[in-house]
A and B are shown apart, each in its own frame.
Chain A
Amino acid sequence: MHKVLVANRGEIALRVIRACHELRLAAVAVYSTADQDALHVRRADEAICIGPPHARDSYLNITAVLQAARQSGADAVHPGYGFLAENPRFAAACRDEGLVFVGPSPEAIEAMGDKAEARRLAERAGVPTVPGTDGTVSLEQALAVAAEIGYPVMVKAAAGGGGRGIRAAHDEAELGELIVQAGMEAEAAFGDGALYLEKLLVDARHVEVQVLGDSHGTLVHLFERECSLQRRRQKLFEEAPSPALDADTRQAMADAALRLARAAGYENAGTVEFLLDRDGAFYFIEMNTRIQVEHPVTEQVTGVDLVKEQLRIARGERLSFHQEELELEGTAFELRINAEDPERNFLPSPGEITALELPGGPGVRVDTAAFAGYHVPPFYDSLLAKLVCAGRDREEALARAERALGEFRIEGVKTTIPFHLELLADEAVRAGDYHVEFLERRAAGSGRMPA
């Protein structure tokens, strides 16, 4: 492996290029015509245009990406996150072309991408899943299952997704009413009235375990990340470790993640997501078969460079460390600085960045592809920068995050910086006392409804 094609854009493309260069691998960038002045294009050793601005015509175009790999003579492909990262057809196409895909096998991607299949795998591996029905249910079945697993329950449209078609019922009467109504709504919205039932976990937290597996059968975990601060299922603020886990639960969750990864024959970097109940019980929700946006918080508290490990694993090397050598040190936060206006319901705010001053100093890391004069295009994700702040303990990391936010200056576009300043001033956030509903409820309480 000598030359890696980076099939992505923005900060993650830059992150992968940096890892390549530290391992003395050449990096090839691909870009759409909207990104010709982008930083990842300049930082790579070569760059190839793969099409017009819309992602489906460029970054999602498998034929164009593979053509660029052929043209540049790359022998490996790193997909980053998003775009083609979790597309089993792309991973298989790379393999068929003789390219090393920096990630798990197409079979593992496919198994984990299928919710029902992933749930079956988890159950077989002895990993708890959210109690509910295996398939779709009638009213009678729903009432029986709900009586067994306990209220409140969620009624979900089988054809829904991304939070759409989900309703909560708190008792039998409500469930009876809701299931008829939800069935009709699902029929109208999705053309499919099928419903399934899941236990509603009240004030649960989203906690995920980072795993790494090499091709020699070694699988390790790198502890967890706490990602409960979400808005419309978009994470905005993450930390490692989770302030909600005690040592025993941490170990149990990591063991569960490893059992699932082993059952899936997992190789390379992956993340096993769990919901953590208020009583400390946790349930598998899904596995992400790629590097994640929030991977830097894990890097800051373990000292492991996850992207370099991904490349080494893809090269057939053994992991560069053993599980026993890993220790959690301190706390790290990631604050996502998005080109969005928090005063206008997080409305995207593309345009030219006219001035940019990045924070720095002890414990501060900024992963970004932005620069003064950069035009934030309207076609892609709104993530501008990841402000990662670490400290010996949570208190020091909090102080650094506040200090760094104060240094951060971006002009020309609206950003989530003011939102993060408010969040860091919130007593509940400072105490680590929050859950997945926290931001929505907070917005509702302040009169600023999350749309």
Chain B
Amino acid sequence: MERTIKSPLPGTFYRRPNPQADPYVSEGDRVEPGDVVGLVEIMKSFHEIPSDAAGVVARFLVENEDLVDAGQDIIALDDG
């Protein structure tokens, strides 16, 4: 069954906590509710996006540094 993780905020989406770091998650990674899967920059402040579901990252629906809207799907999860 496929589910999605949504961005709660509009802004710029980042896959890493900082440009030097590894991505929070990659395709094939298992996530639990509350795991941080990305970062959204909005008005000079950064907000972590927690997963609200458990599953395996099937694919990213947005690219790193893409603009996202509030409520937009950013990651598709499946049961792995």
Tell me the minimal C-beta distance from B17 to chain A in angstroms.
11
Q: Does B1 contact A (CB under 8 A)?
A: no
Bound Cα distance A34, B45 (Å):
18
Q: Does A379 contact B (CB under 8 A)?
A: yes
Q: Please tell me if the beta carbons of A380 and B12 are within 8 angstroms of each other in the complex.
A: no
Q: Does A275 contact B (CB under 8 A)?
A: no
Residue numbers in B under 8 Å from A54 (CB-CB): 12
Q: Please tell me if the beta carbons of A348 and B12 are within 8 angstroms of each other in the complex.
A: no
Q: Does B55 contact A (CB under 8 A)?
A: no
Bound Cα distance A82, B34 (Å):
35
Q: Does B10 contact A (CB under 8 A)?
A: yes
Q: Please tell me if the beta carbons of A381 and B43 are within 8 angstroms of each other in the complex.
A: yes
Q: Does A296 contact B (CB under 8 A)?
A: no
Main secondary structure of the interface of A (DSSP, over half): loop
Bound Cα distance A271, B71 (Å):
42
Tell me the minimal C-beta distance from B45 to chain A in angstroms.
6
Q: Please tell me if the beta carbons of A350 and B12 are within 8 angstroms of each other in the complex.
A: no
Cβ < 8 Å to A, chain B residues 46-61: 47
Q: Does A339 contact B (CB under 8 A)?
A: yes
Q: Interface 1/0s, chain A 325-347, versus B by CB < 8 A?
A: 00000000000000110000001
Q: Does A316 contact B (CB under 8 A)?
A: no
Residue numbers in A under 8 Å from B43 (CB-CB): 339-340, 348, 350, 378-382
Tell me the minimal C-beta distance from A37 to chain B in angstroms.
17
In chain B, what residue has the closest Cβ to A338? B43
Bound Cα distance A347, B42 (Å):
9
Q: Interface 1/0s, chain A 364-389, versus B by CB < 8 A?
A: 00000000000000111110000000
Tell me the minimal C-beta distance from B24 to chain A in angstroms.
17
Residue numbers in A under 8 Å from B47 (CB-CB): 347
Bound Cα distance A289, B13 (Å):
33
Bound Cα distance A209, B9 (Å):
38
Residue numbers in B under 8 Å from A339 (CB-CB): 43
Cβ < 8 Å to A, chain B residues 19-69: 42-45, 47, 67
Residue numbers in A under 8 Å from B12 (CB-CB): 54, 378-379
Tell me the minimal C-beta distance from B64 to chain A in angstroms.
13
Tell me the minimal C-beta distance from B18 to chain A in angstroms.
11
Residue numbers in A under 8 Å from B11 (CB-CB): 378
Bound Cα distance A118, B4 (Å):
51
Known A-B contacts A54-B12, A350-B10; the reply to A380 vs B42 at CB < 8 A is: no
Output the residue of A54, A347, A348 with the most chain B CB within 10 A.
A348
In chain A, what residue has the closest Cβ to B45? A348
Q: Please tell me if the beta carbons of A381 and B42 are within 8 angstroms of each other in the complex.
A: no
Bound Cα distance A182, B8 (Å):
33
Tell me the minimal C-beta distance from A164 to chain B in angstroms.
13
Residue numbers in B under 8 Å from A347 (CB-CB): 9, 47
Residue numbers in A under 8 Å from B10 (CB-CB): 350, 378
Residue numbers in B under 8 Å from A382 (CB-CB): 43-44
In chain A, what residue has the closest Cβ to B10? A378
Output the residue of B9, B11, B45, B47 with the most chain A CB within 10 A.
B45
Tell me the minimal C-beta distance from B34 to chain A in angstroms.
16
Residue numbers in B under 8 Å from A379 (CB-CB): 12, 43
Q: List 25 A-B contacts (CB under 8 A).
A: A339-B43, A340-B43, A347-B9, A347-B47, A348-B9, A348-B42, A348-B43, A348-B45, A350-B10, A350-B42, A350-B43, A378-B10, A378-B11, A378-B12, A378-B42, A378-B43, A378-B67, A379-B12, A379-B43, A380-B43, A380-B44, A381-B43, A381-B44, A382-B43, A382-B44
Nearest first, the 3 A-B pairs at minimum CB distance are A348-B43, A382-B43, A348-B42
**Given A54-B12, A350-B42, 20 more contacts at CB 8 Å?**
A339-B43, A347-B9, A347-B47, A348-B9, A348-B42, A348-B43, A348-B45, A350-B10, A350-B43, A378-B10, A378-B11, A378-B12, A378-B42, A378-B67, A379-B12, A379-B43, A380-B43, A381-B43, A381-B44, A382-B43
